[in-house]
Structure 1
Amino acid sequence: MKAVNITLTFNGQTEEAFNFYKSVFGGEFIHIQRMKDIPGPEPVVGAEGEKILHVALPIGGAVLNGMDIPQGRPQSNRGDNFMITLETESEDETTKIFNGLAEGGFVMMPLAQQFWATYFGMVKDKFGIQWMLSYIK
């Protein structure tokens, strides 16, 4: 396992929240990407395109990640609007952990190659905890 980090999810307030966290903790964003940056034949436009796809702020030895929930998906609720993000070391490790967490849970996004990761998936375990698993070669 490379790292365990936290991802906070918001209903369109990610940019505001992360500017606040940056003012509190200091530092600079190491990554910020908007929904309009998603490649594909149908670009995300308007207010939805300006939402944050991913932002990352280093804090100590960890990274605080954030994202806005895309239109059409269940909205975040204050107090449980987070995911534990696991950065894995191989596709095999990713698959093993993902399948273990999915047992009795719910697959939110199946493991697959994504434009931002070699192998990525999202799952809610049987206790309601949301996980994102990411392997990048």
Structure 2
Amino acid sequence: MTSLSPYLSYNGNCTEAMNFYAKLFGAKLETLLTYGDMPPEMGPCAPGAEKLVMHAHLVHPGFTIMAGDTPPGMEFKGIAGAMMAISFDTTAEAQRVFQALSEGGNVTMPLSETFWAQTFGMVTDRFGTPWGVNGGPKNFKQP
């Protein structure tokens, strides 16, 4: 089996982000390993990094998300040049999720009707993750 999952980077708030997404999407946070959880043979954990997330794995029947905090000693550059695109069968579910992602975030395109969906909007949530939220797909002809 082949699968493709995004791997998101955070700046010390990965635990908070993954717990938020688990609740929002009804997903299960299956893995949350910190740098402090590393086995001794991996070397010492950088001082102050014990609670930073080395690897998180969120599982939902329709998708998985993997994530971690930026490793100690590396510069956090944020998430750029990509967004998480998520689609829902109904506009009501898209509106619910978009509203939750918008709280404390930055709406870059409010929800509105498009030629491919009854509603679509873009938002960067309070954790710095960009999202494209689709609801109520439409049938359209491709060239």
TM-score (ref. length: structure 2): 0.49
Percent same amino acid among aligned pairs?
24
Alignment map for 1:1-137 (pairs within 5 Å): 2-39=2-39, 40=41, 42-44=43-45, 46-80=47-81
Specify whether residues 18 and 81 from structure 1 end up closer, same or farther in structure 2 by C-alpha distance, changes over 3 A only.
Answer: farther
CA distance in 1, matches of 2:82, 2:12: 12
Q: Please give the per-residue CA displacement for 1:3-39, whole angstroms capped at 9, x wherever unaligned.
A: 1001110111100111111120013211111111222
Contact 2:28–2:59 (CA under 8 A) maintained in structure 1: yes
Residues 43-52 or 26-35, more deviating: 43-52
Q: In the TM superposition, what is the alpha-carbon distance from 1:44 to its structure 2 partner?
A: 1.1
Query: Are the aligned partners of 1:51 and 1:68 in contact in 2 as well (CA < 8 Å)?
Result: yes
Equivalent AA in structure 2 for residue 50 of structure 1: K
Runs of at least 4 residues off by over 2 Å: 39-43, 59-62, 78-82
Number of matched residues?
Answer: 82
Q: Given that residues 8 and 81 in structure 1 are in contact (C-alpha distance below 8 angstroms), is that contact kept between their aligned partners in structure 2? A: no
CA contact (8 A) 2:35 2:54 kept: yes
SS in 1 for 2:28: coil
User: Which structure is larger by alpha-carbon Rg, 1 or 2?
Assistant: 2
Unaligned runs of 5+ in 2: 84-143
Q: Residue 3 of structure 2 aligns to which amino acid in structure 1?
A: A
